[in-house]
């Protein structure tokens, strides 16, 4: 590729948190072994999402992805993979954590080196990140589909290193504990309890629930009314019933069900039931970031 060719890529930096302390506490050999194992896991995650590690700089990996959706998914998957590896005892020092910063923007090559806006801003963002965080730019957030933006939260505004003007930095929560901060029973408002028709759209299939069609099962198994091909979707994951003029969503799964409403509310269910109103997307087992194929669009209507 010519050095003058400009393209848009998502550049992601993942930096091992507390690496200096790791070296001081465990010594060079053990610290290096564990950090190399961490970088290997990050590389595997990047490859699984059409990305790659461009280079490693000590305890930091620089990755590239073809689009912002893959970068957002990879950021979450990296944290989850390291969490699982730590729980499984893959690191001799115990737990290993990273902080992640990424940006979707223009790049060009100088030989084999990537330069330009995206790496400059991604490096600036990673310097603002803390342990277990995912930070990105407003430009990256704007390039994501709606279902991936629900939980993005504004962090700070700083002077940008790659252009004249400000850089707005946003956080993308990935841990269930952060998603739970907005969990709770839906308000039992009149609008929520007077919907009579519920439409479920998944791929090219649509399910309609109303007073004549009052029950729908959802899961990976073919026996369900709606078969959802999510990575974390259970065989018999959930069911929706229409009772007394209200649509009820019951989670029966191992991994839970997340409901993201168009107005920004969200709830997460685990062996629980909630009322459905308004419209949005239901994720059976995963989240918009780690399992977008588990999402079913729902729309409630009054008649």
pLDDT of residue 4: 66
Task: State the alpha helices, DSSP H only, in 129-280.
Answer: 138-142, 176-179, 190-193
> H or E stretch including 53?
strand 52-57
Determine the Cα–Cα distance for residues 127 and 158; give it in Å rounded to an integer.
12
Class of domain 6-174: alpha beta
The mean pLDDT value for 266-281 works out to: 86
| % of the chain residues with pLDDT over 90 | 66
pLDDT of residue 188: 38
Q: Are 153 and 190 in contact (CB under 8 A)?
A: no
Q: Give yes or no for residue 2 having a pLDDT over 70.
A: no
pLDDT of residue 303: 65
Phi, psi of 31 (to 5 degrees): -60, -45
CA distances from 37 to 60, 81, 96 (A): 12, 12, 10
pLDDT of residue 127: 94
The DSSP call for residue 77 is H
Q: What is the pLDDT of residues 211-246, one digit of tens each?
A: 889 999 999 989 999 999 999 999 999 999 998 778
Domain boundaries, the chain: 6-174, 183-301
Determine the Cα–Cα distance for residues 15 and 217; give it in Å rounded to an integer.
43
Beta-sheet strands, E only, within 131-212: 134-137, 153-159, 166-171, 197-202, 205-209
pLDDT of residue 290: 85
Q: Give yes or no for residue 189 having a pLDDT over 60.
A: no
Q: Residue 194 is encoded by which pair of tokens?
A: 């007077």
Looking at every residue in the chain, the average pLDDT score rounds to 87
Q: What is the pLDDT of residues 42-59, one digit of tens each?
A: 999 999 999 999 999 889
Report helix, strand or coil for 44: helix
CATH architecture classification, 183-301: Sandwich (2.60)
Q: What is the pLDDT of residues 144-171, one digit of tens each?
A: 887 677 678 888 899 999 999 999 999 9
Q: Are 259 and 269 in contact (CB under 8 A)?
A: yes
pLDDT of residue 190: 38
Task: State the alpha helices, DSSP H only, in the chain.
Answer: 19-26, 28-48, 68-87, 117-126, 138-142, 176-179, 190-193
pLDDT of residue 142: 92
């Amino acid at each position: 590729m010519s050095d003058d060719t400009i393209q848009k890529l998502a550049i992601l930096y993942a930096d091992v948190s507390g690496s200096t302390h790791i070296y001081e506490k465990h010594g060079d050999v053990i610290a290096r072994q564990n950090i190399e194992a961490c970088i290997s896991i990050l590389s595997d995650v990047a490859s699984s999402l059409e990305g790659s590690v461009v280079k490693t700089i000590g305890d930091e990996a620089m990755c590239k992805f073809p689009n912002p959706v893959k970068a957002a998914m990879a950021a979450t998957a990296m944290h989850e993979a390291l969490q699982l590896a730590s729980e499984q005892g893959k690191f001799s020092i115990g737990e290993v954590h990273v902080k992640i910063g990424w940006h979707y923007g223009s790049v060009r090559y100088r030989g084999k080196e990537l330069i330009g806006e995206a790496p400059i801003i991604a490096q600036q963002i990673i310097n603002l990140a803390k342990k277990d965080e995912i930070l990105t730019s407003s430009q990256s957030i704007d390039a994501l589909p709606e279902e991936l933006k629900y939980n993005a939260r504004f962090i700070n505004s700083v002077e940008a290193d790659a252009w004249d003007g400000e850089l707005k930095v946003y956080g993308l929560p990935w841990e269930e504990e952060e998603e739970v901060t907005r969990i709770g029973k839906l308000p039992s408002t009149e609008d929520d309890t007077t919907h009579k028709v519920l439409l479920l759209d998944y791929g090219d299939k649509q399910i309609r629930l109303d007073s004549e069609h009052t029950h729908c099962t959802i899961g990976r198994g073919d026996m369900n009314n709606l078969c959802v091909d999510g990575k974390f979707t259970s065989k018999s994951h959930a069911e929706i019933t229409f009772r007394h003029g209200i649509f009820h969503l019951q989670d029966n799964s191992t991994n839970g069900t997340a409901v993201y409403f168009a107005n920004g509310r969200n709830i997460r269910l685990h062996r629980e039931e909630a009322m459905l109103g308004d419209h949005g997307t239901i994720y059976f087992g995963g989240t918009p970031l780690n399992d977008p194929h588990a999402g079913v669009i729902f729309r409630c209507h009054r008649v």
